[in-house]
Amino acid sequence: MKKLEIRLSGSGGQGVILAAIILANAGVEQGLNAIQTQSYGPEARGGASKAEVILSNGEINYPKISTANILLSLTQKAYDKYKSSLEKDGILIVDESVKLRGDETFKVYSLPILRTALEKFETHMVANIISLGAIYELMGENIIDKDIMIRSITERVPAHTVQKNTDAFEEGIKLARG
């Protein structure tokens, strides 16, 4: 596997940082080298939020993403800010509410992430795990074993939400498959 650089972006409160932590943790458990970084605006909820994960079989010499292979944008602001950081043949995953510019040169997956969280799970709180399922499917299931991903999720979410979150992960995989 070549180095895989993944940027997750949205607004504070959407859980992109937790999703990145789960992904990086699963990568380490898989035996990969992994780095996870994060940044968010001064507002706890509603401000800009970004998390990055780098996964590699080899050494990771710099902890920040130079060009993302996969970009998740859950908000219009995140898409507008970070789309230029996605490699030309990269994978863009956006919530269906994001208006694309039409000049994208990458593979675009416009998915009903936020709507699915609310309609199927009755909370926006699992949108990050739905997103994680989509990322997992699109990055290629051969990189991290599915059982490791699910274990990483169950170790990081509150015990009373484990089933809801693992179901949300599976729903994200289904959404990405179309």
Specify the range with the lowest mean pLDDT, choosing from 69-83, 99-113, 159-173.
99-113
Contact 55, 1 (CB under 8 A): yes
Q: What is the pLDDT of residue 44?
A: 52
Longest Cα–Cα distance of the chain, Å, equals: 43
Q: How far is CA 115 from CA 77, 99, 112, 131, 166, in A?
A: 18, 15, 5, 12, 18
pTM: 0.93
* DSSP codes of every residue in 118-153: HHHHS-GGGHHHHHHHHHHHHH-TTSS-HHHHHHHH
Report the number of secondary-structure helices (H) and strands (E) in the chain: 6, 6
* Overall average pLDDT of the 98-115 stretch: 91
Helices (H), 33-161: 76-82, 113-121, 127-139, 146-156
Res 27 pLDDT > 70: yes
* Position 99, amino acid: K
Nearest CA to 74 out of 36, 37, 117 is that of 117
* Overall average pLDDT of the 143-159 stretch: 97
* Overall average pLDDT of the 151-165 stretch: 97
Res 41 pLDDT > 70: no
* Overall average pLDDT of the 33-62 stretch: 84
Ranges of each domain in the chain: 4-111+139-154
- Average pLDDT across the chain, whole number: 93
* CATH fit for domain 4-111+139-154, picks 3.40.50.2000, 1.10.3720.10, 3.40.920.10, 3.40.50.300: 3.40.920.10
Q: What is the pLDDT of residue 90?
A: 95
In degrees and rounded to multiples of 5, residue 56 shows phi and psi of -160, 150
